[in-house]
Structure 1
Amino acid sequence: MATSPRTRPDALTVEVVELIGDVVARFYADYEEAAGEHALTGAQARLLSLLSLEPLPMRKLAQKLKCEPSNVTGIVDRLEARGLVERRADPGDRRVKVAAVTEEGRALARELREGLRFAREPLAGLSEAERTALRDLLRRMLTE
């Protein structure tokens, strides 16, 4: 049930929002720990994860990470120095540079995802039907 900006949410909605916040906090803490095990910061790990899906221009990376493009440049510089990321010309516009993950970076991004205990352990206790329902509800929340 949607609420207008002037009405207060009901107790159940408040509890759900708090639980979502707790889940997000635990996810980020686990992600930071997994990143640290590979001598990465959380921001570096998130950028590597994004690039493992597709090469992206720096401006788009900044939008997705919700930070300034100059911050993304520094993150990419450090990952590039480790051989995890490289800069390429955008095939659609050669004036634009995109950051792309290397094979080594892709393997590390996979290790990071597989190392997220919080994301894996509680979900393993749910049935496939429960995981499917949770996925569908989360997708619905993100599209509304």
Structure 2
Amino acid sequence: MSTPEKACRSDELSMEVVDLIGDVVARFYADYEEAAGEYRLTGAQARLLNLLSLEPLPMRKIAHRLKCEPSNVTGIVDRLEARGLVERRPDRADRRVKLAAATEEGLRVARDLREGLRFAHAPLAGLSDEERLSLRDLLRRMLAA
């Protein structure tokens, strides 16, 4: 087998993997939107709440992680705060900075949302522990690259 043929096959395989990852992401977001709707949240609100369930964050960092403008984050936090799911608090390290943090109710909703994701759970349940560990490790390697 010549090198160009091998490279072509590798490219085809890479493109198939990229397409499959895209399909997984699309299905994940669709499921997330549906689960969020059950709590009268938008997908963006649910993703932000999930992010804050891990740790309180300043608005700028939230915007960076969600890949959106800080002004958009402010509006989303305002709506979540009005529902009692998020609160603003001063950063202990720099009192000039405000952190957005999930409230107890916000933590409960974020947990329920994650547990209610059918797409995320059903396919993974069909994999062995070893397969899930392998998948996790491969995804971590991809994200670290």
Q: Which has the larger radius of gyration?
A: 2
**Partner of 2:40: helix, strand, or coil?**
coil
Aligned length, in residue pairs: 138
Residues 1:18 and 2:19 aligned together: yes
Partner residue in 2 for 1:3: none
Task: Give percent identity, aligned residues only.
Answer: 78
- In 2, Cα distance between equivalents of 1:11 and 1:71: 38
- Unmatched 5+ residue regions in structure 2? 1-6
Q: What residue number does 1:132 align with?
A: 133
Question: Any idea what the Cα deviations from partners look like across 1:5-35, whole Å, max 9, x if unmatched?
Answer: xx87611111000000000000000000000
Q: Which amino acid aligns with 1:17?
A: V
Which residue matches 2:3?
none
Deviation at 1:78, TM superposition (A): 0.3
Residue identity in the other structure for 2:131: E
TM-score normalised by length of structure 2: 0.93
CA RMSD of aligned residues (A): 1.1
d(CA) in 1 for partners of 2:87, 2:48 = 12
**Corresponding residue for residue 58 of structure 1:** 59
The C-alpha deviation readout for 1:79-137, integer Å capped at 9, x for no partner, is 00000000000100000001010000000000000000000000000111111110110
Matched residue type, 2:97: V
Residue matched to 2:43: 42
CA distance in 2, matches of 1:104, 1:91: 23
- Secondary structure of the corresponding residue to residue 94 of structure 1: coil
Q: Secondary structure of the equivalent of 1:29?
A: helix
Partner Cα separation in structure 2 for residue 101 and residue 14 of structure 1: 39
User: How far apart, CA to CA, are the structure 2 residues paired with 1:10 and 1:93?
Assistant: 49
Structure 1: which amino acid aligns with 2:136?
A: R
* Matching residue of 1:4: none
Distance 1:53 1:10 in 2: 37
Matched, 1:31 2:32: yes
List runs of 5+ in structure 1 lacking aligned partners.
1-6
CA distance in 1, matches of 2:61, 2:133: 30
Deviation at 1:44, TM superposition (A): 0.3
Distance 1:58 1:68 in 2: 10
- TM-score, with structure 1 as normaliser: 0.94
